[in-house]
Amino acid sequence: MAEALRVGIAGLGTVGGSVVRVLSEKAAELTRQCGRPIVVAAVSARTRKKKRGVELGKATWFDDPVALAKSPDIDVFVELIGGDEGPARASVKAALEAGHHVVTANKALLAKHGVALAEIAEKRGALLNYEAAVAGGIPVIKTMREAMAGNAISRVFGILNGTCNYILTRMEKEGISFDACLKDAQRLGYAEADPTFDIEGHDTAHKLSILSSLAFGHRIAAGDIYMEGISNISQADIRAAGDLGYRIKLLGVAQRTESGVEQRVHPTMVPTSSVIAQVHGVTNAVAIETDILGELLLSGPGAGGNATASAVVGDIADIAKSRPGFQHGPVFGRPAKELKPYRQAKMRSHAGGYFIRLTVHDRIGVFAAIAKRMAENRISLESIRQHPADADERKTVILVTHESMESAVRKAVDAITKDGHLTDKPQVIRIERAE
């Protein structure tokens, strides 16, 4: 039997502790599958005295994760520190430069420095595995990087943030407000004390940028993604979507067009009959559209200690199965130096149309003014619904457009707002008809 694979783990939080536990509990099975033992040889964390509920055995303790990353006594460095700078970046860079393989769950690090780190890994002949960085326990990276060789991908989209999906699911099922649901999510540990990164779409954007690079062969461009979060989704939107036969999801969408690659993150109305509309709670789902395979949908746990640890252990096991002299594949499916600069697609009509909710004063001429602004911007309306005025003499107007340019929709809504007819902030949500 081959010599043991020596693993060094930096970061012993929920995920790190779960990885240590799984490697210990599944040691015999992993040895059979990989043809060699996997041992935790060294660890690093902020404090040594903290009770973590896992046995670290004879693992060497390092106060400095960079020193651990450089250590000649490990073969694989597992980075579970988090953050796109500081110790996380320094330690991963140091490990790769030392020729060590690296496993990370850090999507923020990859979104910002992934290409540069990939160049180091490929130069040094080291593996940089990151299955846990996107969609938790769903093996989407392995699928796109290895199993779909020869397929030309035209579109990749999905639900990539469990926190947002949990909130939207409960808002629909229980009729509670966004704020109340967010507080519950924080209490249950699904949302951070500062939830901005999740609910405003940043987390989804980081993950989408990695998937887009894998799909289309361009350099990661997380800063060029159009992004909207879910903090302004109200019960009025949830109810209106249901009445129209739709369900609201926060989607990340990347697709190839004639003029470049379009990347966007935003709340989206999807038909309730579609597969992606059936993905509830903290579950994630990723759809990949290709020329050979057609459409593939992967769904499963998107977050949590066990789901993420499963992906990390899978990456470690892949390294354990490789042998000296084996030529590893490129980190992002193509050699890092051959990744093309990102070319943003030109704005085009959105085939699914738009949902527009307007809360207006109940007075003569308002509806005619709305219709006029839509016509001025050459927006064709599929349906118009009016809800009766409430006690404050306000009424809600729901518009659903045919295929339209987003710039035209935004211009029309801005004009209606400036006309002084609205009592509340307008809502505009894309509708995705095709799955």
pLDDT for the residue numbered 391: 55
pLDDT bin (cut points 50, 70, 90) of residue 187 is: confident
| Residue whose pair of structure tokens reads 């404090």 in the numeric block | 47
pLDDT for the residue numbered 384: 87
For 25, what's the count of Cα atoms within 13 Å in the CB-facing half-sphere? 11
pLDDT for the residue numbered 389: 58
Share of the chain above pLDDT 70, in %: 97
Distance CA 262, CA 14 (A): 35
Answer yes or no: is pLDDT of 435 > 60: no
Distance CA 17, CA 40 (A): 12
On whether the 146-301 domain is CATH 3.30.70.20, my answer is no
Per the CB < 8 A criterion, the answer to whether 227 and 205 are in contact is yes
Name the catalytic one among 207, 249, 337, 346: 207
In this predicted model, what pLDDT tens digit does every residue of 230-268 receive, in sequence order?
999 999 999 999 999 999 999 999 999 888 999 999 999
In this predicted model, what pLDDT tens digit does every residue of 110-151 receive, in sequence order?
999 999 999 999 999 999 999 999 998 899 999 999 889 889
pLDDT for the residue numbered 115: 97
In this predicted model, what pLDDT tens digit does every residue of 352-363 receive, in sequence order?
799 999 999 888
On whether the 5-137+305-336 domain is CATH 3.40.50.720, my answer is yes
Answer yes or no: is pLDDT of 351 > 80: no
Answer yes or no: is pLDDT of 326 > 80: no
pLDDT bin (cut points 50, 70, 90) of residue 52 is: confident
Give the mean model confidence (pLDDT) for residues 10-28.
Answer: 94
CATH code: domain 349-431 is 3.30.70.260
Range in 44-48, 289-293, 321-325 the model is least confident about: 321-325
pLDDT bin (cut points 50, 70, 90) of residue 156 is: very high
From the CA atom positions of the chain, what is the Rg in Å?
24
Q: Which residues of 93-127 are buried (b: 16+ CB within 10 A; e: fewer)?
A: bbbbeeebbbbbbbbbbbbbbbbebbbbbbebebb
Range in 57-61, 321-325, 421-425 the model is least confident about: 321-325
178 or 190: which leads in pLDDT: 178
Give the mean model confidence (pLDDT) for residues 330-342.
Answer: 94
pLDDT for the residue numbered 1: 65
pLDDT bin (cut points 50, 70, 90) of residue 83 is: very high
Q: Rounded to whole angstroms, what are the CA distances from 273 to 63, 277, 354, 433, 435?
A: 53, 7, 18, 10, 10
Q: What are the residue boundaries of the structural domains of the chain, listed by start?
A: 5-137+305-336, 146-301, 349-431
Answer yes or no: is pLDDT of 433 > 90: no
Output the average pLDDT for the chain. Answer: 91
| Spatial CA neighbour of 428 closest among 191, 291, 232, 179 | 232
Give the mean model confidence (pLDDT) for residues 213-219.
Answer: 96
51 carries an active-site annotation: no
